[in-house]
Amino acid sequence: MNIMLFHSTFGLRPAVLRAADRLRSAGHEVWTPDLFEGRTFESVEEGMEHKEKIGKEELLKRAVLAAAPYSDRGLVYAGFSLGASVAQTLALGDDKARGLLLLHGTSDIAPDVTAEDLPVQLHVAEPDPFETDDWLSAWYLQMGRTGADVEVYRYAGAGHLYTDPDLPDYDEEAAEATWRVALGFLETL
């Protein structure tokens, strides 16, 4: 499978590269575009400030330019938190997308989007300050209206970015469960 993996608001840090290596070890081809052009951050606030300086349109433009050379291959779009929202936007706009793997994040869905039978898997903490229960319920219903085939996995007590071993949110049990389920999902595509 060809996977375009987008980083979180912390930037393209070692945890993202390790995740890409884990996916490669399972036989996938993986690209990890650096939407922050080399910048990494120690806090969510710093990363969000940088994202705001770049602007949503520029961020999406960078993501589209990174994915464009490979989109004819039928990409699985994936991402962590902010990167998941970017992945979702690209997957819903790419009729050749093979799947969408969301780790720790989602995004708004335009009302006229269709994604008939697009396999979507979301892994998120429970509770998650960035992905509240009300938001996730609305997101799930909206994603269902697009025609996507959606699976949601919640991890009680885990922190927001619980798959990143370099952050305080890390939860080894939840992270390993996430990777086990996600790798199984990718095998079905």
Confidence at residue 123, expressed as pLDDT on a 0 to 100 scale: 98
Q: What are phi and psi of 87, to 5 degrees?
A: -60, -45
Determine the Cα–Cα distance for residues 126 and 152; give it in Å rounded to an integer: 11
> What is the number of alpha carbons within 13 Å of residue 36 lying toward its C-beta?
22
* pLDDT by 10s per residue, the chain, length 189: 999 999 999 999 999 999 999 999 999 999 999 999 999 999 999 999 999 999 999 999 999 999 999 999 999 999 999 999 999 999 999 999 999 999 999 999 988 999 999 999 999 999 999 999 999 999 999 999 999 999 999 999 999 999 999 999 999 999 999 999 999 999 999
Per-residue pLDDT at 111: 87
8 Å CB contact between 105 and 83: yes
> Could you tell me if residue 185 is left (phi over 0), alpha (psi between -120 and 50 degrees) or otherwise beta?
alpha
Q: What is the pTM of this model?
A: 0.97
Query: Using the 8-state DSSP alphabet, how is residue 167 labeled?
Result: S
What are the sequence ranges of the domains in the chain? 2-188
Tokens encoding 133: 């229960």
Q: Which CATH class is domain 2-188?
A: alpha beta
- Give the pLDDT score at 188: 96
